[in-house]
Amino acid sequence: MSYSGYNNKPKSLDSLLKEFMKRIPRRREMKHGMAMHLWPEIVGERVSRATRNLTFEGDRLIVKVENEAWRNELHMNRFAIKKKLNSRVGGNTIKEIIVRC
């Protein structure tokens, strides 16, 4: 017995989420939320604990940290972090990361 509806190959959750994201009307806000949710995974637990607040101003991710040492650390790595977040969220969602104390 053959069921034509069962010939579809399974898709990863990541690819299904990206397909879904293409169809929703408030895609930008959803991608911003995804980026904030992925922040601890991308930067690691230690850096995430030093982060006080994440907000978006347009396409700029504003990151507040607890001291100058963390500000310098994140500032030096902001391009790599932006690249990783954008690749996970899809597209060029984050144009710039600004780190503040």
Report the pLDDT value the prediction gives residue 44, as an integer from 0 to 100: 96
User: In this structure, are residues 82 and 96 in contact, taking their beta carbons and an 8 Å threshold?
Assistant: yes
Give the model confidence (pLDDT) of 41-96 as tens digits. 999 999 999 998 999 999 999 999 999 999 999 999 999 999 999 999 988 999 99
Please give the full DSSP string across 53-67, using - where no structure is assigned.
EEEEETTEEEEEESS
CATH number of 45's domain: 3.30.300
Cα 16-19-22 angle, rounded to 5 deg? 150
Question: Kind and range of the H or E element at 100?
Answer: strand 96-100
Residues 101 and 99: their CA atoms lie apart, in Å, by 7
Give the count of domains, the chain: 1
Q: Give the pTM.
A: 0.76
Domain presence at residue 47: yes
Residues 43 and 74: their CA atoms lie apart, in Å, by 9
Give the model confidence (pLDDT) of 71-85 as tens digits. 999 999 999 999 999
Domain presence at residue 63: yes
